[in-house]
Structure 1
Amino acid sequence: MDVRFATNPDDARHYGTDELRRRYLVQGMFTPGELRLTYSHQDRVVLGGAVPLAEPLRLGAYDPLRTAYFAERRELAVFCTGGRGTVTADGAEFDLGPRDLVYLGMGTREIALSSADPADPARLYLFSTPAHQAHPAVLVRESDVEGVELGSPDNANVRTLRKYVDGTTVRSCQLMMGYTALAPGSVWNTMPAHTHVRRTECYLYFDLGPDDRVLHLMGRPEESRHLVVADREAVISPSWSMHSGAGTANYSFVWAMAGENYDFADMDHVAMDELR
């Protein structure tokens, strides 16, 4: 488990490209046959990827968490970005197809991840937050979630947003999660940008071609920075940082949040003339 310490904007303004990528970009999560996790001190989230092959991959006890098992004091969502797989939680099996999600509440002791076909393995994205309440496990199909249509062709930002875990479809302690898909010909997401100082948000970009990239905008609005992001790479966005992006082609991204306020609409919007 990789560990990333929290950062503040006064320090971040001095980071060069390599330092920005080292602190905020999460790469190499989807390695065949492995489960790779990153623990961030930004709201103490854990994010990672699993690509099970012939044998299941199991979440264990990790020293940075100092608990007897992974979800002893945590909740977890697993989102399938491709392939088909199964999440087994305390003996209950949840079969996931592309863009399906399973939520597991605090206190789930045994968690295993497997693929239906090792030749075309599941690519499973994991996002976990601290929890103080236990909520039941819920399987959410993409077809269960009504999409919200946003944007316009004139602004190259036509997109469909789906909320999986936000207190409506699934109730959680503090974890929020969903995904947004851009239409062909659209490249911009979340512009105008926003911040939310009560929550950390992470973006996992996927559905990108091998030669496609997203320029992810971050930092204080008056002093922006960018990261060049490839397929199935994630960005940790601290509460003080805006988050937006533009791609070389249309793409999808999983958004996941943790923090003090359990309100999806709690955002501080940034006017275009404030951006620098």
Structure 2
Amino acid sequence: MDIRYGANQADVKGYDTQKLREEFLIEKLFEADEVLSTYSHIDRIITMGVMPVSQVIALEKSINCRKNLGVEYFLERRELGIINIGGTGSVLVGDEAYKLEKMNGLYIGKESKNIRFSSEDPSNPAKFYMCSTPAHKKFETKLITLELANKVEMGAFETSNKRVIYQFIHPEVLETCQLSMGCTVLDTGCVWNSMPCHTHERRMEVYMYFNLTEENVVFHFMGEPQQTRNIVIQNEQAVISPSWSIHSGCGTSNYAFIWSMAGENRTFTDMDHIKASDLR
């Protein structure tokens, strides 16, 4: 497990490109038959990727729960959100199996044990992207298909940001402690996300960009509104965004990204909007 400590905005002003990437970029999420995880001390969110190929993979395969979390098992005091961006696979929660096709989501509540992952076709493995946050109460485990997600259409071709937001783990879909999670898909020819931009002092966020070819990247913008920086992101990489930072992106092609939020509340529209003319 990769451990990241919280960086404050005063220090970030002096970071060079390499330091920004070391603090905020998660470069690798998927490796065959492994669980890759990054623990951020910003709201204690854990970002993970599992790609089962030749075997069934246990969630705790490479996570020392006693050492890293101080618990006996991973979800003893946590909740977990999953979105599959690969081939069809299954998630086993105890004795219950949930089949996740591409772009299906799953919420797993606190106190769930014995979580395992498998792929239906090893030549087209599932890619389970996951985020976990601390939880104080147990809520029902639920499969969320793309059809069940709350769908919101936003933007326009004129501003290069026409997109569809699929809210998987969201108050209008199901109840959780603090985790929110969904996916934004940009239309062909559209490259901007979250612009005009915003911050939300009461919540942090993680963006995971995907559906990019090897030749294309996203320039992810972060930092205080008057002290902006950028991180160049490739396919299936994630970036940690503190509450004080903007989080916008512009790609060399259209793309999709999964957003995950943790913090004081789950109000999706709780944002502090910033005019583009005020950015520096």
For the superposition of Structure 1 and Structure 2, which TM-score range results when normalised by the shorter chain? over 0.9
Q: 1:148 aligns with which of 130, 135, 152?
A: 152
Alpha-carbon separation, structure 1, partners of 2:261 and 2:30? 21
How big is the alpha-carbon RMSD for the aligned residues of Structure 1 and Structure 2? 0.8
Q: Is 1:186–2:215 an aligned residue pair?
A: no
Q: Is 1:237–2:241 an aligned residue pair?
A: yes
Alpha-carbon separation, structure 2, partners of 1:170 and 1:97? 20
Offset at residue 146 of structure 1 (A): 4.0
Q: How many residue pairs end up in the alignment?
A: 276
Alpha-carbon separation, structure 1, partners of 2:239 and 2:209? 8
For residues 87-117 of structure 1, what are the alpha-carbon distances to aligned partners after superposition, in whole Å with 9 as ceiling and x for unaligned? Answer: 1011110100111000000000110111111
Equivalent AA in structure 1 for residue 233 of structure 2: V
Alpha-carbon separation, structure 2, partners of 1:27 and 1:5? 17
Query: Counterparts of 1:1-276 in structure 2 under 5 Å?
Result: 1-60=1-60, 61-62=64-65, 63-276=67-280
Alpha-carbon separation, structure 2, partners of 1:200 and 1:57? 29
What secondary structure does 1:127 align onto? strand
For residues 242-269 of structure 1, what are the alpha-carbon distances to aligned partners after superposition, in whole Å with 9 as ceiling and x for unaligned? Answer: 1000000000000000001221111000
Equivalent AA in structure 1 for residue 144 of structure 2: V
Q: After TM superposition, what 4+ stretches of structure 1 lie above 3 angstroms from structure 2?
A: none
Offset at residue 274 of structure 1 (A): 1.2
Q: TM-score, normalised by structure 1?
A: 0.98
Gaps of 5+ in 1: none
Alpha-carbon separation, structure 2, partners of 1:14 and 1:180? 31
Contact 2:150 2:173 (8 Å CA) reproduced: no
Alpha-carbon separation, structure 1, partners of 2:247 and 2:95? 38
What secondary structure does 1:19 align onto? helix
Alpha-carbon separation, structure 2, partners of 1:114 and 1:84? 9
What secondary structure does 1:133 align onto? coil
Contact 2:150 2:172 (8 Å CA) reproduced: no
Offset at residue 48 of structure 1 (A): 1.2
What secondary structure does 1:147 align onto? strand
Q: TM-score, normalised by structure 2?
A: 0.97
Gaps of 5+ in 2: none
